[in-house]
Amino acid sequence: MSLPRLPRPPLLPLEGRAAVVTGAGRGLGRAEALELARLGAAVVVNDYGQPGRDGSGDASAGPAEEVAAEIRAAGGRALAHTGDVADHEQARELVELTVAEFGQLDILVNNAGILRDRMVFSMSEDEWDSVIRVHLKGHFNTTHFASAHWRARSKAADALVYGRIVNTSSEAFLAGSAGQPNYAAAKGGIVGLTTSTALALSKYGVTANVICPRARTRMTADVFAGFQEPGEGAEKGVGGRRAPLAPIDPLAPEHVAPLVGYLASPAAAHVNGQLLVVHGGMVAVVERPRVAAKFDTKQDAFTYDELDALLTPHYADRPRGETFAAAEVLGLKHE
């Protein structure tokens, strides 16, 4: 469905900004690209275009071109990039294309990913490597070139620049999804990459945050197959206004996109290095890990017997299934 052409209000939070959204040909990335355009940004829609959610099939320009055309038809500015962001040089080309076309890069939303699920004892080396490559290396590649662009601009101007990174992790990392060791590891790595990046780039005026979205997309179609869809959801128009709302699927990507738009905006200037869970009309701010207990040796160094005397009682009354994973996040919902 194409977006309606609507008048643009005079003030949009992302007016004059240029954004890159990876994996934006479908699902979450598409919704995020449309939202950034609705808020006034020029958008480079990146998608490698492979049909299989496991990264299989021939690459296609179709998905990226269609979303870019949808934005332009609604009065926005957009172009397509069909490169593989997991390839270092193609990620460089993506950033260079954005700067060449729109003068600079202001917003980077990393969303591209694949799934190749398997239990850890059955997973092949290729299933591990391919998921780590697309998710974790893909996030690094674009972040590397975007951060170099912002650093150079800041140094040339001897001033802070405008830069926003929104990375995509997953509740699979938080909850410890048993059948997704590659995906959970990649998504956990993305959180570490984000917090490191947030600290490294803050002195240039750049923020980096990470979201854990839950949505019905091509990648999760089987996961949420039992959840009824009440309708097609709300299509959003470029220019700050929405088309009339139909009943919206609680798992629609449109529930996630507004948070990405906010984190990309000037209003979120003081939000940095944060992890947020978002889905179904709910946003949860996840607190960083806290030290639950601390033990000190009464000798020069711990011995096995001393650790046994301290740690064994500490864990004796804990539930057997309780781990560092925060499975309770899966129970979060809109109230």
187 is catalytic: yes
User: Which amino acid, 135?
Assistant: H
The catalytic position among 154, 170, 177, 265 is: 170
Q: How far apart are CA 299 and CA 285, in angstroms?
A: 41
Query: 124 catalytic, yes or no?
Result: no
Which 3 state secondary structure label does DSSP give 193? helix
CB 22 within 8 Å of CB 32: no
Q: Clarify whether 203 is annotated catalytic.
A: no
Strand blocks (E) in 122-241: 163-168, 206-213
What's the CA gap between 50 and 33, in Å, rounded?
18
Among 259, 260, 236, 257, CA closest to 246: 236
Locate all alpha helices (DSSP H) within 288-331, ordered by sequence: 304-316
Helix (H) or strand (E) holding 94: helix 88-102
Which 3-state string (H, E, C) describes 12-79?
CCCCCCEEEECCCCCHHHHHHHHHHHHCCCEEEEECCCCCCCCCCCCCCCHHHHHHHHHHHHCCCCEE
- 70/237 Cα distance (integer angstroms): 10
Q: Which of 73, 139, 102 is nearest to 14 (CA)?
A: 102
Q: pLDDT tens, position by position, for the chain (335 residues)? A: 344 554 555 589 999 999 999 999 999 999 999 999 999 999 999 999 866 666 666 667 889 999 999 999 999 999 999 999 999 999 999 999 999 999 999 999 999 999 999 999 999 999 999 999 999 999 999 999 999 999 999 999 999 999 999 999 999 999 999 999 999 999 999 999 999 999 999 999 999 999 999 977 555 555 544 445 544 444 445 555 544 444 567 788 899 999 999 999 999 999 999 999 999 999 999 999 999 999 999 999 999 999 999 999 999 988 888 888 888 888 888 88
> Out of 130, 137, 177, 183, which one is annotated catalytic?
183
Output the pTM of the full model: 0.87
Q: How far apart are CA 305 and CA 299, in angstroms?
A: 12
Q: Is 9 helix (H, G, I), strand (E, B) or coil?
A: coil
Q: In what order do the strands lie in the sheet with 107-109?
A: 78-81, 42-46, 18-21, 107-109, 163-168, 206-213, 275-279, 282-286
Apex 54 CA angle, 184 and 186, nearest 5: 20
From the candidates 137, 187, 236, 262, give the one annotated as an active-site residue: 187
What's the pLDDT at 331? 84
